[in-house]
Structure 1
Amino acid sequence: MSPATSQAIPAPAFTAALAAYDTLRAERLPTALIQGRRDFFGAHAYERADGPGTFHTHWGEHGRPETRTG
């Protein structure tokens, strides 16, 4: 990967495979963005990493207050 990158040679299959491997070995996946988008567009709620339960953010209100839903 490094030689291709340093020579500015596109290697989309290798970079995709590397990204997939990084995802497999990650301790915590970056799903917070997806959960936040789902909550924003449809009040689906989300889980937080700092404690148990599910929450919904009132995105249109000042200060974006949270409500615990479960």
Structure 2
Amino acid sequence: MELGLVIGIAFTVVALGGWLVATLLLRRHGTAAPLAPADRDAALRARSLHEQAAAGQMAAMASAQRQ
């Protein structure tokens, strides 16, 4: 086999292995340190407000198109 092909395959294997290890470590860290209840509630409120604002904006655009 050519050296370039071996290096290319080795790089791909190492990159995929590193990605897999990083994904597993980040997933473990995320489950080991969950959000505090107050932070989780604040994030859910912010998301709800964002969804309401987006719905209002879409309704306003639909109303403007009808006029």
TM-score normalised per structure 2: 0.30
> 1 or 2, which has the higher helix percentage?
2
The structure with the larger Rg is 2
Larger relative contact order (CA 8 Å, sep ≥ 6) = 1
> 1 or 2, which has the higher strand percentage?
1
TM-score normalised per structure 1: 0.30
